[in-house]
Every structure is written in C-alpha cells, then in structure tokens.
Chain A
Amino acid sequence: MTQLILFDVFNGLIIGAFYALMALGLSLILNLTGVINFAHGGFLAVGAYLAFTLTPYIGFWGGLIVAPVLTALLGLAVERGLIRPLYGRDPLYSLLLTFGLAFMLEDGTRYIWGPATLPFAIPDWLASPLSSQFFFLTGYRVFMVLLVVAAVIGLFLILNRTRLGMRIRAGTLDLETVSVLGVNTRILRNLNFGLGIYLAGLAGVLAAGMLGLQPTIGSDLIMPSFVAIIIGGLGSLPGTLIGGLLIGVASGLTTVWYPSASEAVIYVMMALILLVRPRGLLGEEGRF
C-alpha cells in the first residue's frame, strides 16, 4: 500500500508539472492584462497538431522547438487583432471572446486535420521505462518534467534578468505607471501574450506524446488550469506552479481510494481554498 501511495505521489508530481506548464501560460496572461484566456486549450491543440505535421520533416525535436514558436506567432496575431480592443473592459468580455475563439480553434483543427485521432509517435528511446521497478517513470515522462523545469527556469530568467521581464513584472503591479514611464505597453502586452501562448504550444507538443491527438485535446485541460491558478493564488506565478503540482498529486492520490472522484477532488480543493483563504496559497490580498 505504501508503495502504491508513493508511486502515486511521484506520478502526481509528474502530471502536476504538466498542469503547471499549462497554467503558467494562462497565469502570465491573466496577471498582466486581466484577460481570462478560455482559448488556451485551443492553442495547446494547435501546438500539438503543428508538431504532428512538422515531425515527419524535421523530426520530433524539430517539432518540439518549432511548433510552440509558430503557435506563439499565432498568439501574437490574435492578441493584436482580437484581444487588444478588450483591455480596460470587464474581464467578462475577454472570457466570452476567448470562448468564441476556442470554438473556432477546435473547429479549425478539425477542419484542417480531420476528426480522426491521429497517431503521434515519440522517439523510441524515450518511450520505455527507465527501470522495471519504477515502470511508470518512462523516459518521456522524465523528459517532460525536465522540460517543464527548463521552461520554468527559462521563464524565471526572462522575468528577472531581462528588461522585458522586468517590465512585465512591473506592469503586473501597475500597468498605468509603467506606461507613463515611457514603456510601450501595447508591445509589452503583445509579447506577454505571445509568451503565454508559447507555453501553451509547448504543453501541446508534450500532450501529443502522451495523449491521443484529437481536436478536443485541449478542452479538458482548461478547467484544471484555472483551478491550479486559484489554488496557488491569483497574481503569483510560483503559486500557480505549486497549484499545478498540488492538483496533480491530489488527483493521483485520490485514485488510490476513490478513483472516480479523481477529477472532482480538484474542485473540492478549490472550493475549500476559496472558502477558507480566497487569495490562494501564495496570492496577494486584495488582488482582483
């Protein structure tokens, strides 16, 4: 039994890392601009499908590098055309617009690539377990965790060591002052959105290796991402990271005793946090 629990905790961390990646992109966008991006799952799907199309030509690694970049470019275009007019308005509108956008992305991927589930293969040497004891530690899952760690470190470096990152952090606290100080907030928000979408695209490529590739691949992942953000605390990226890991572990542990509740447990957690400590684990008081 303890072995089972340990396995599940360990495994939950792996899955949690994936949720965290998805949620980080969402959180990045939400913190700076207050936009609730319901289309995040759609962008994940686009990233996955682009990787599928590119992989035969430039290999899995090529797809991994290029697909998220292309998805980010799409994100930049979407921000410029559709999201920008919504700043300053009630967040409800961004929610609705991105909801419509999510529809379009899902239908678009179905139109281009068809409704059939497409077989996405990962490199053979990644696809097998690292040890027969810890059989669930496949090379791919370890690679995924490493990639998420790399992405988080990369994000941390961008936010703390670059001018862009500094501006994003400042803008998250007070965008108006940042604008007054001469920073072009339009470009700032645009790049921030692109960065968030890059993470979604990256999550998409990773997801395609683990899950079946279908137009709806992103739509089941969007709610857990929001839950991770709320549990970790709105406005806090480290909080989102922890939130993602927590829901992964909670979900995994629940399968030991009450598997069918493994999806519902994250909502129970969210309800508890909201009733007891609404700002989340690491969130700031009074935000939103």
Chain B
Amino acid sequence: MRMNPSKSTIGRRTVLRAAAGAGFLQVASPFVVTARAADVIKIGLDDPLTGTYAELGKNEQIGCQLAVNQINAKGGILGRKVELLTEDSTSTDTGVAVQKAHELIDRDKVNLLLGNVNSAMALALGEVSNQAGVLHIVTGGHTDAVTGTDCHWNVFRVCNTTRMETNSVSKTLFTKFGKKWYFITPDYAFGHTLQQGFEASLKKFGGTEVGASLTPLGTTDFSSYLIKAQAANPDVIIVLEAGQDAVNCLKQAVQFGLNKKFHIAGAQQELEVLEGLPPEARIGTWVFEWYWVQPKVPHVKQFVAEIRKVNGGKVPTARHWFGYASVWTCALVANEEKTLDAVKLAKALENFVLPPEIALMPYKTFYRAGDHQLMPTLYVGHAVEKGPVPEDLFHVDELVQGVDAALPVAETGCHLKWPS
C-alpha cells in the first residue's frame, strides 16, 4: 500500500501535463506555415490512402509522383518546379475529402486539383473545384455523372464512363457466350449504370436478362446471390462488383464451381483484384482500362520499368497510368498555352490529344470537347491463372476505341456552363 497516494498522483499529473505541453509545442510549431517558394507550381491530389480504396489511391499517387519527377527533369511547368501535394480523402468520409480539397485550394493554393477514386467524392470535389475555379482532373471515379449530368467546365476525367466499358465488351459476350444474362450488381451508382449499359446492349442485340441481384456494398458473402444466379440458368453471369466485393464474389463463385457451368464476365476489372485472387479464381472476361503488356505500343516498356523502380518491383496497373496521364495532361497543356489560367487551360484541353509517350495506348487518345471525357482505348480480354511472365494475369483479346464505345455527347446529359 502506498503511503502518500495523493502526493504521487499530483506528481504524475504534473509530469503528464508538462509532457502534454511539450508535445503540444512540438506539434504546434511546424503548424506555422513554412514559407513555400512562391514560384513552385503545386498540384493537389485528394485521394484515399486509407480504408478499402487505399491500394487504388496509393497506386494513383505513385503514377502522379513519377510524372512530377519526369516533368521536373524536363524543366517543369513554365520553367517552374512542380510539387505534388497529397492528402488522404479516406475511403468513405466525403466530408473529409471536401475538407482536404479546401485545404489544398485555400491554404496550400494549389494550381491544379486531382482526384478521387470514390465516385461520390469525385462529384463532391467537382463542386469544390468548380466554386474555386480550379482545373480539376478526375483520376479514378467512374460514375457517369462526372462527365454527364454533373459535368463542369473545369472538370476533366481520365478513366472511362461505365457506358464505355459496357459497350466495349457487350458484343463479344453476346456473340461468344450467349444471350441470357444474369446480373450481380453492387448497389451504388457505379453498379446501376453498368447494369443499365448492359441492359441497353441486350435490348439492341435481342438478348434476355434472366435476373439480377443488387448486393449491398461491402457484402462479404455472395452465396445467396450466386445461388439465385445459378437457379436462373443464364449463359453468362455478369459480375459488376469492384474492388473487395469483386474479390469476394469471384473467390466464392469459383469455390462453388460456377465458372465451370456458366461463363463469368463483367465490365471493369483491375489488376489489383486479379492479384488479390488465388490463382484458380482468376477467370472471366473483362475490360481493362489500361494494361502493362502491350508489345506493339512504344514507350510502354519504359513506363513499366520506371514504375517498377518506385513500386516495390511490381508492374503498373491502370491506376498508375491514370495518375501519370492526369499530371502530364496538366503539364503539357500549361506549357503549350503558356498560362495557368484555368479557363484558358480548360478550353485548350478540349480535343487535346495526348502524345504517345503519355497515352501509352495504340489509338489516338484525346479529351472530348462536349463532356471533357478522355477517349482512350479499352482492352477487352480474359483473366488467366498464370501468364507467360509473372504478373501477366490478363490476356487482351480485342482493343476498342473509347470514342466508339462512348455515348454521344448529346445523350450524356452534360451541359457545360462556362464562366462569363
């Protein structure tokens, strides 16, 4: 039993308070804004680095940083050095994403904004950048509204719309695998618009939708949906899940042996998902938005090598390319127009063609004028358990030009309002 409990308590408290005070000073002093060199051009990336999209956001960041390094090696933008400021938007809290956008724009005074992987955040950030009049390139949020009903004059997008993805692969699925389709759809806009896209294709080709299941986001167990799919006896089970949900769904589908009875396919697929699946689950027909094995396209090998150096030896995925192309777009158009004025840059980006060493795609890659959507190439193919080289998990069967797969501007619902 201690004799003087109060004495030691006060002693401990004083020590703790002193520690807290010292700690606070430590934290507070760097808070004073260090004078940043006024002639540095800042690009702000507002992407998830924690949570379920952490991997995708991180990969986009790596691509962005590589581009920044290359740009600086070539003299920067308008002769000034470029700096990439990254903020974690988190994967689910849109309030934080918006707050970080304000931080980048109001406090850090970035000249250009990039982000987000999460579609809702991409839309919310578009509002912020539009209010502030800052050029904004959406790296990885796929919801159609970004270059559709919620488009803005200052917002451009590098990744595809869901309609582009479904249109690129639907014909192949219909002719090669059959007319009866069953959908397993994640219950958010991304999933809904993918399903709508496929339904439009089915109608055009004369196929039938034998059923559909809406799965809540973050579903861990897909067995009941797969049971339903099997009972409907389709030709193709269309899995529209993304990210973790896709990993869970495909893993379970293969464990059930469904891939032996039905053909499994979908629209968007990513290398991150295939890498997360056990080898026997790497199946299905999908669309990739960019792929690292493109023997006939120049400059791709260099890009792969460069990314390997900063990515722990792993090959780049489409996410790396999204970040890379977004940053380079900013640099190229700014250097060409010799200005940082957002309106002038935005006008110049309409119909802007990405040079081959940035596009890293076989066909002409450009930003469409009416909706600011990039028209890339889409890679239709199938997943393979093991390719000729490690990490080659996808075999490209067909290349589709984005501009052929996309909805005409008039049907996207986009009406750009330029500032007067």
Contacts and interface: CB of A to CB of B under 8 A. Distances in A.
Decide if A and B touch, CB cutoff 8 A: yes
A256 B224 contact: yes
A8 B273 contact: no
Given A117-B247, A135-B256, A214-B52, A220 B218 contact: yes
Contacts of B228: 4, 255-256
Nearest to B213: A259
A266 B155 CA distance: 41
Interface string A82-116: 00000000000000000000000001001000111
Interface string B245-276: 00110011011111000000000000011011
A255 B213 contact: yes
Interface residues of B, number: 42
A263 B219 contact: yes
B280 interface: yes
A214 B221 CA distance: 15
A110 B50 contact: yes
Interface string A231-261: 0000000000000000000011001100110
A135 B258 contact: yes
A264 B216 CA distance: 9
Interface residues of A, number: 48
B272 A117 contact: yes
Interface stretch (A27-35, A120-128, A180-188): A120-128
B8 interface: no
Interface in A1-34: 3-4, 7-8, 11-12, 14-15
A12 B224 contact: yes
Contacts of B220: 207, 210-211, 220-221
Contact of A136 (B187, B223, B279): B223
A212 B50 contact: no
A211 B248 contact: yes
Main SS class of interface, B: helix
Contacts of B213: 255, 259
A216 interface: yes
Contact of B221 (A107, A210, A259): A210
A211 B244 CA distance: 8
B251 to A, nearest CB: 7
A8 B230 CA distance: 13
Contact of B247 (A135, A212, A252): A212
A138 B280 CA distance: 15
A276 to B, nearest CB: 26
A226 interface: no
A198 interface: no
Contacts of B310: none
B218 A262 contact: no
Contacts of B247: 117, 211-212
Interface in B214-233: 214-216, 218-221, 223-228, 230-231
Interface in B3-50: 49-50
B311 to A, nearest CB: 11
Nearest to B274: A119
B31 to A, nearest CB: 23
24 contacts: A115-B54, A116-B272, A117-B244, A117-B275, A117-B276, A119-B275, A121-B280, A124-B280, A127-B280, A135-B256, A136-B227, A210-B220, A211-B251, A212-B244, A212-B248, A212-B251, A213-B276, A214-B244, A215-B54, A216-B52, A256-B228, A259-B214, A259-B215, A259-B216
Given A128-B255, A260-B214, 16 more contacts: A12-B224, A115-B54, A115-B55, A120-B278, A135-B256, A135-B258, A141-B255, A210-B248, A210-B252, A211-B244, A212-B247, A212-B248, A221-B220, A252-B223, A260-B215, A262-B224
Q: Which 6 A-B pairs have the closest CB atoms?
A: A117-B276, A212-B247, A115-B54, A255-B224, A121-B278, A115-B55
